[in-house]
Amino acid sequence: MNAVEVRGLHIRGLRDCAFAIPRGRVAALVGPNGVGKTTLMHVLVGLLAPAGGTVTTAGDVAFMAQDKPLFHGFTVAELLTFGRRTNPVWDEAAARSRLAELDIPLDRRARRLSGGQQAQVALTLALARRPALLVLDEPLANLDPLARHDVMRALMAEVAERELTVLISSHVIADLRDTCDWLIVLNGGRVQVGGDIDELLERHLLLTGPPGLAEPAQVVAAGRAGGQVTLLVKDAGALDPRWSARGVGLDELVMAYLRSPESAALPRLAGVPQ
Per-residue pLDDT tens digits for 15-46: 999 999 999 999 999 988 888 999 999 999 99
Q: Assess if CATH 3.40.50.300 describes domain 2-187.
A: yes
Q: Which helix (H) or strand (E) holds 158?
A: helix 145-161
Give the C-alpha distances (Å, rounded to integers) separating 81 from 12, 77, 194, 228.
36, 6, 39, 64
pLDDT of residue 165: 94
Spell out, as residue ranges, where the chain has pLDDT lower than 50: 261-274
Are the CB atoms for 233 and 244 separated by under 8 Å?
A: no
Domain spans of the chain, in order of start: 2-187, 199-258
pLDDT of residue 264: 33
pLDDT of residue 260: 62
Helices then strands, counting H and E runs in the chain, come out as: 7, 13
Is the pTM above the cut of 0.85? yes
pLDDT of residue 130: 94
